[in-house]
């Protein structure tokens, strides 16, 4: 449970501030109000919020934890927060009470906007607590390099060997239309095809005699080697002259 609470609670990760504490406080106030409220008109609120809280508790008991499991609970928390604000802004509350509630709403909206902006700016950054082993933006350069090499002879697919326990996922998705791709769980046994891709230091050392190497980021602290056959590389470089 502590892991999921830590996603929302204020924190600083290498100089970047995260957290959605105001939203969560208002949501838990709403949860308390719904527990005490027996109004039939609020029945749909109670069902939605209790469903989210149940999911939150169940996911907290599961040892395998990922940030995106909170999405269903997050929607329910938003319902609870909305119920709280509805109670504060309607009814017979004084004008001053409504002004304070409006100020709180403005602050929460600003804080949520900041969180959203940070989430977009650090969409593939290890400092983002909402991510879990996200693919690095540098990975797109590897995909582009493969496409550039394939354009040298569009009528023939490149023969590609990919090594590693996870086959450099999501690379297999990008190579799904190539019928001449092979995957080896033991990278040291990958054959010297047109392209040989795998974790740094795990591919056959003999590739240095027939291929040149490039390095591409896959995930945080995970680097891939891409060995390109010398003849193929020379042909590619001529297109850049």
My answer on whether 106 and 165 are in the same domain is no
Given pLDDT bands bounded at 50, 70 and 90, which one contains residue 181? very high
* pLDDT, mean of residues 92-104: 73
My answer on whether 148 and 70 are in the same domain is no
What mean pLDDT, rounded, does the chain reach? Answer: 83
Parallel, antiparallel or unpaired: strands 195-199 and 11-13: unpaired
Domain that holds residue 111: 2-121
Q: In this structure, how many other beta carbons lie within 10 angstroms of the beta carbon of residue 49?
A: 27
Confidence check: pLDDT of 165 > 90: no
Residue 73 within a domain: yes
- What residues does 13 pair with on adjacent strands? 16
- Nearest alpha carbon to residue 32 among 71, 80, 65, 79: 80
Phi and psi dihedrals of 222, rounded to 5? -125, 110
My answer on whether 214 and 186 are in the same domain is yes
Residue 210 within a domain: yes
- Please write the tens of the pLDDT for every residue from 52-96: 888 888 888 888 777 778 888 888 888 888 888 877 777 666 777
Could you give the 3-state DSSP secondary structure of residue 136? Answer: coil
Residue 157 within a domain: yes
Q: For residue 153, give Cα distances in angstroms to 149, 157, 162, 230, 234.
A: 8, 8, 21, 16, 14
Range in 10-24, 47-61, 204-218 with the lowest mean pLDDT: 10-24
Residue 198 within a domain: yes
Residue 192 confidence (pLDDT): 93
């Amino acid at each position: 449970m502590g892991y999921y609470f830590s996603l929302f609670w204020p924190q600083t990760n290498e100089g970047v501030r995260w957290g959605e504490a105001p939203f969560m406080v208002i949501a838990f106030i709403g949860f308390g109000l719904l527990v005490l409220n027996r109004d039939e008109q609020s029945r749909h609120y109670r069902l939605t919020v209790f469903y989210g809280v149940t999911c939150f508790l169940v996911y907290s008991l599961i040892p395998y934890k990922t940030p995106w499991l909170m999405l269903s609970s997050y929607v329910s928390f938003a319902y609870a927060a909305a119920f709280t604000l509805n109670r504060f802004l309607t009814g017979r509350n004084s004008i001053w009470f409504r002004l304070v509630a409006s100020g709180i709403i403005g602050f929460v909206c600003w804080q949520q906007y900041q969180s959203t902006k940070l989430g977009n700016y650090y969409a593939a950054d290890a400092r983002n607590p909402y991510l879990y082993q996200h693919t690095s933006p540098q990975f797109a350069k590897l995909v582009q390099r493969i496409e550039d090499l394939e354009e040298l002879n569009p009528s023939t697919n490149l023969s590609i060997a990919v090594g590693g326990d996870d086959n450099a996922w999501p690379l297999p998705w990008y190579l799904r239309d190539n019928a001449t791709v092979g995957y080896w769980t033991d990278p040291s046994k990958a054959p010297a095809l047109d392209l040989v891709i795998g974790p740094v230091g795990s591919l056959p050392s003999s590739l240095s005699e027939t291929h040149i190497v490039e390095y591409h980021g896959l995930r945080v602290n995970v680097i891939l080697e891409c060995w390109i056959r010398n003849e193929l590389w020379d042909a590619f470089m001529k297109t850049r002259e």
